[in-house]
């Protein structure tokens, strides 16, 4: 059992902002999928508030509720009082990780994770990326490397990383110069997205510098409650990218975490980060037409997390012309979630994903674009399993076909 009263001075001001209005419900994929108040943002905050103020002893059930989060920016963005939901949840998870220990969390979630990775290639991929980051990018003696080693699966990762494949400098004919923050899922599991990113930026006239010394931006560890590791990674990347004015990313989850400073003080990196489509909107012109029906999944990490709303769709519409088709409820969640959600809560993730797959099939799109790498990988597996012919691609992969 764990006591939370020492969190009161840390969370008091932020928790007080929540007036329990419930306006986040309509933008809360977990609440909408479960209709369970305790899995929604308001319910999580009410439980937390009571536990912190009343000095209650909390156990597994409370811990489970605090880790049950898509880490979506939608509830927070639509909160009229500006309650910093993701920051609050990150801090309470940090407390739970510290007080229960990694072994305590492994006892709770370990079997679920093993079941998820044995049932899903996408889950295996995400788990293997996490294990790889811990083994290759964290200092010796960290608590994660040994704990995550059982999830290492070299077969789930790409044969070469994006940082191995990309040159440090990719020149272009234009005058713009940007640095590229790759993100861990792209680096280890989807380097083709990184290659497409550099290709389209070059086509738009940007020289792209991809510093080899960059590391995981820390977002994975924020979702796991290890804010110290996340802060150390953020500080490392802040130094690596210090000389650049513009830092571009093609992973919306990475971009959103950096832009919102979730990993802690990053010495101004958050102010410099932009999604690749923001830059392309200023200088990318397709040279050909996409010859199949294209739709767009409007992921919360890009839309609500990075506040990038118009650019991806405008670029895709320009590239696809009359082949662009609308996806019903395009802004509904994919079920991928950030961090361990789809590993810890696979049945709930599958419920959300099934609805998304249904809408993709109804759209009759051949390919659905998204700026969130996790959503691309997660939905591709779900579409294949459902026997659907449509496939996911990152937005830049489609643009790279016509540049
Ligand atoms: S988080 Fe915001 S929207 Fe949700 S119940 Fe609290 S005040 Fe209302």
Whole-number CA gyration radius for the chain: 20
The tokens describing 240, both together, are: 């690596």
Ligand 1 within 6 A of CB of 20: yes
Can you give the pTM of this predicted structure?
0.94
Rounded Cα–Cα distance for residues 247 and 11 (Å)? 32
Here the contacts of 29-38 (C-beta below 8 Å, separation 24 or greater) are 29/70, 29/72, 29/74, 29/332, 29/333, 29/335, 29/352, 30/68, 30/69, 30/70, 30/348, 30/352, 33/348, 33/351, 33/352, 33/355, 34/348, 34/351, 38/65
Q: Tell me the pLDDT band of 302, cut-offs 50, 70 and 90.
A: very high
CA of 109 to the centre of ligand 1 (A): 28
Kindly report the backbone phi and psi dihedral angles of residue 327, in degrees, each rounded to the nearest multiple of 5, phi listed first: -105, 125
| Structural domains present in the chain | 2-105 (1.10.1060.10), 121-156 (no CATH), 162-280 (3.40.50), 294-400 (no CATH)
Average pLDDT along the chain? 93
CA of 144 to the centre of ligand 1 (A): 34
Instruction: Supply the pLDDT for residue 339.
Output: 78
Closest CA to 372 of 328, 325, 326, 330: 330
CA of 162 to the centre of ligand 1 (A): 40
Number of residues assigned to the chain = 403
- Closest Cα to atom 6 of ligand 1: 18
Whether residue 85 contacts residue 317, with contact meaning beta carbons closer than 8 Å, is answered with: no
Instruction: Supply the pLDDT for residue 315.
Output: 97
369 or 100: which leads in pLDDT: 369
Q: Is 169 exposed, middle or buried (0-12, 13-18, 19+ CB in 10 A)?
A: exposed
Q: What are the tens digits of pLDDT across the range 51-82? A: 888 877 788 999 999 999 888 999 999 999 99
Q: What are the tens digits of pLDDT across the range 357-394? A: 999 999 999 999 999 999 999 999 999 999 999 999 99
Helix or strand run (H / E) with residue 249? strand 247-249
By most ligand atoms within 8 Å of CB, the mutation choice from 38, 42, 48 for ligand 1 is 42
Answer whether residue 214 shows pLDDT above 70.
Answer: yes
- CA distances, 329 to each of 4, 349, 351 (Å): 39, 17, 16
């Amino acid at each position: 059992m764990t006591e939370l009263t020492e969190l009161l001075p840390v969370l008091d001001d932020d928790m007080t902002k929540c007036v329990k209005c419930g306006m986040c419900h309509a933008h809360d994929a977990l609440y909408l999928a479960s209709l369970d108040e305790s899995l929604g943002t308001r319910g999580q905050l009410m439980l937390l508030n009571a536990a912190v103020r009343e000095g209650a002893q909390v156990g597994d059930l409370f811990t489970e509720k605090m880790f049950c989060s898509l880490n979506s920016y939608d509830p927070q963005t639509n909160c009229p009082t500006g309650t910093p939901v993701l920051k609050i949840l990150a801090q309470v998870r940090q407390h739970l990780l510290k007080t229960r220990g990694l072994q305590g969390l492994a006892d709770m979630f370990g079997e679920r994770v093993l079941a998820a990775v044995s049932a899903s290639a996408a889950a295996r991929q995400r788990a293997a990326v996490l294990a790889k980051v811990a083994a290759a990018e964290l200092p010796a003696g960290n608590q994660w490397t040994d704990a995550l080693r059982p999830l290492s699966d070299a077969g789930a990762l790409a044969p070469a990383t994006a940082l191995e494949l990309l040159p440090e400098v990719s020149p272009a004919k234009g005058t713009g110069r940007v640095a590229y923050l790759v993100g861990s899922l792209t680096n280890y599991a989807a380097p083709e997205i990184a290659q497409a990113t550099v290709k389209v930026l070059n086509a738009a006239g940007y020289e792209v510098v991809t510093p080899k010394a960059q590391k995981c931006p820390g977002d994975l560890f924020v979702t796991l409650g290890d804010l110290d590791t996340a802060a150390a990674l953020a500080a490392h990347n802040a130094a690596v990218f210090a000389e650049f004015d513009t830092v571009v990313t093609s992973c919306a989850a990475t971009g959103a975490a950096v832009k919102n400073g979730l990993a802690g003080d990053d010495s101004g990196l958050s102010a410099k980060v932009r999604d690749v489509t923001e830059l392309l909107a200023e200088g990318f012109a397709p040279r050909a037409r996409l010859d199949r029906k294209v739709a767009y999944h409007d992921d919360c990490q890009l839309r609500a997390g990075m506040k990038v709303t118009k650019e991806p769709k405008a670029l895709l519409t320009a590239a696809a012309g009359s082949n662009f088709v609308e996806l019903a409820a395009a802004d509904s969640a994919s079920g991928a979630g950030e961090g361990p959600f789809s590993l810890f809560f696979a049945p709930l993730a599958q419920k959300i994903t099934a609805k998304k797959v249904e809408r993709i099939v109804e759209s009759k799109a051949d390919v659905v674009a998204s700026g969130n790498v996790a959503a691309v990988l997660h939905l591709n597996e779900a579409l294949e399993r459902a026997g659907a012919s449509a496939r996911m691609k990152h937005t830049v992969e489609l643009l790279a076909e016509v540049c």
